[in-house]
Amino acid sequence: MEIVENLDQINHPFENAVVTIGNFDGVHIGHQHLFTQVKKEARQIQGTSIAITFNPHPMKALGLLAPPLITRNDQKRELIEKCGLDVLICIPFNTDFASISAHNFIEKLLVDKIGVKIIIIGADYSFGKDRQGNIDLLKSEGRRLGFKTIVSPWINDSDTHKERISSTRIREIVMAGEVDQAMKYLGRHYQIRGKVVKGRKRGGSQLGFPTANIKLHDELCPKAGVYAVTVETTKGRFQGVANIGFSPTFDDHIFTVEVHILDFNHDIYDTRIRVNMVARLRDEQKFSSIQELSEQIRTDIQIAKDILNNDPS
Reported confidence tier of residue 119, pLDDT bands at 50, 70, 90? very high
User: Of the ranges 167-171, 205-209, 285-289, which is most confident?
Assistant: 167-171
**202 and 127 belong to one structural domain:** no
**199 and 295 belong to one structural domain:** yes
Closest CA to 85 of 120, 56, 61: 120
Number of domains in the chain: 2
DSSP state of 164: B
Q: Which residue has the higher pLDDT, 294 or 157?
A: 294
pLDDT of residue 210: 86
Mean pLDDT of 227-232: 98
Cα Rg of the chain (Å, integer)? 23
Residue 164 is assigned to a structural domain of this protein: no
Helix or strand holding residue 17 (H, E): strand 17-21
Reported confidence tier of residue 250, pLDDT bands at 50, 70, 90? low
**224 and 141 belong to one structural domain:** no
User: Of the ranges 56-60, 81-85, 156-160, 161-165, which is most confident?
Assistant: 81-85
By residue range, what is the domain housing residue 277?
A: 184-309
**247 and 301 belong to one structural domain:** yes
pLDDT of residue 248: 73
Residues in the chain: 313
Domain boundary among 105, 135, 152: 152
Domain boundary among 130, 152, 174: 152
φ, ψ of residue 229 to 5 degrees: the values are -140, 165
Helical H segments across 117-240, by residue range: 135-145, 167-175, 179-186
**68 and 132 belong to one structural domain:** yes
Task: Indicate the average pLDDT of the chain.
Answer: 92
**212 and 91 belong to one structural domain:** no
Residue 140 is assigned to a structural domain of this protein: yes
Please report, as a single letter, which amino acid is at residue 62: L
Q: How distant, in Å, are the alpha carbons of 56, 260, 285, 312 from that of 276?
A: 24, 13, 23, 13
- 165-192: b (≥16 Cβ within 10 Å) or e: bbbebbbebbeebebbbbbebbbebbbb
Lowest-confidence segment of 63-77, 100-114, 115-129, 205-219 by average pLDDT: 205-219
- For the cut 60, the answer to whether the pLDDT of residue 246 exceeds it is yes
Residue 23 is assigned to a structural domain of this protein: yes
Residue 251 is assigned to a structural domain of this protein: yes
pLDDT of residue 71: 96
Domain of residue 99, CATH code? 3.40.50.620
- For the cut 50, the answer to whether the pLDDT of residue 205 exceeds it is no
Domain boundary among 131, 152, 173: 152
Residue 175 is assigned to a structural domain of this protein: no
pLDDT of residue 289: 85
- For the cut 80, the answer to whether the pLDDT of residue 128 exceeds it is yes
Q: Which residue has the higher pLDDT, 123 or 238?
A: 238
pLDDT tens sequence across 20-60: 999 999 999 999 999 999 999 999 999 999 999 999 998 88
Domain of residue 219, CATH code? 2.40.30.30
Whether the predicted model's global pTM rises above the 0.85 cut: yes
**102 and 201 belong to one structural domain:** no
Residue 268 is assigned to a structural domain of this protein: yes
Residue 98 is assigned to a structural domain of this protein: yes
- For the cut 60, the answer to whether the pLDDT of residue 203 exceeds it is no
Reported confidence tier of residue 157, pLDDT bands at 50, 70, 90? confident
**260 and 148 belong to one structural domain:** no
**122 and 252 belong to one structural domain:** no
For the chain, percent of residues with pLDDT exceeding 90: 76
**134 and 41 belong to one structural domain:** yes
- For the cut 50, the answer to whether the pLDDT of residue 204 exceeds it is no
Reported confidence tier of residue 288, pLDDT bands at 50, 70, 90? confident
Q: How far apart are the C-alpha atoms of 69 and 53, rounded to whole Å?
A: 14
**192 and 280 belong to one structural domain:** yes
pLDDT of residue 202: 53
Q: How far apart are the C-alpha atoms of 50 and 22, rounded to whole Å?
A: 11
Residue 80 is assigned to a structural domain of this protein: yes
**190 and 298 belong to one structural domain:** yes
